[in-house]
Structure 1
């Protein structure tokens, strides 16, 4: 084999290796930040239902994401504390907590974790304003916010341990 044809084979091999490497890199996506819910010694972690690499999620997708059901669940007794933990970047931007679609935190939280009383998630009021029977479950949604835009949405289902 001549030296010129060897150079051609080496160049083709190098080009093939570079192309394969670029294809492999483009297939790798950075995972979304995790959210962790902890009760006592039990915990569950979940990836985002929607995440746009820290940028605003388009408004039409926000509605769809908020309507998704949680894939992970954890049991909470009304006397226990639920601790929610987020990625430092999520905490830096700020995050809200929604319970069954209703806002549970008035302002975005700027901490990496926050604790809630278990009873706060299962209380319901009847139409007359009187306390009703406690709910058996509640969906908690964490929303990463930045400049009024939603950048990430996570869901965790809470099961009322008292009703199991």
Structure 2
């Protein structure tokens, strides 16, 4: 026989449940703390040529708010490690953007100069030959193509390097 007073064994189970609840609450709080330290992801743009594609988050983005000229110039200088893709002149280059970018309107820039009119679609197709043609001011073996969200002022900038295949 046990010598514990009546109901005391139940307290042991209650204490164990209480410890588990406190541990679970602590784990949830720790998880929320870790998530709050993360940056919010920016919308993504994608360039596809044939079966190959590259995508990128923004070089510059302020949660959809306007960027000043100084911020954009700084982004253009820091575009050193942008993703690249090879382009055969006979292939089409497909540009896809997140709906957030499309809703604000977006323009394709080549080497910093406007290449297309603004669009609110999430997808565009341009012949690969246009990116390596003196007529369009895009000659050479490689060109930097940027997607600018918004017209004036810009709200974001995504860049890619197109290399002649």
For normalisation by structure 2, the TM-score amounts to 0.76
Structure 1 residue 21: Cα displacement: 5.4
Inter-CA distance 18–70: structure 2 relative to 1 (3 Å threshold)? closer
Unaligned stretches of 5+ residues in structure 1: 1-5, 126-130
Structure 1 residue 97: Cα displacement: 0.6
Q: When the two structures are aligned, how many residues end up with a matched partner?
A: 146
Alignment of 1:23-102 (within 5 A): 23-67=33-77, 68-69=79-80, 71-102=82-113
Partner Cα distance (1:60, 1:30) in 2:
23
Unaligned stretches of 5+ residues in structure 2: 1-14
More off after superposition, 32-41 vs 63-72: 63-72
Conserved in 1, the CA contact under 8 Å of 2:68 and 2:153?
A: no
Inter-CA distance 86–55: structure 2 relative to 1 (3 Å threshold)? same
Structure whose CA Rg is larger: 2
**Counterpart position of 1:136:** 141
TM-align CA RMSD: 2.7
Q: Which runs of 4+ in 1 moved over 3 A?
A: 12-23
Indicate whether 1:152 and 2:156 are aligned: yes
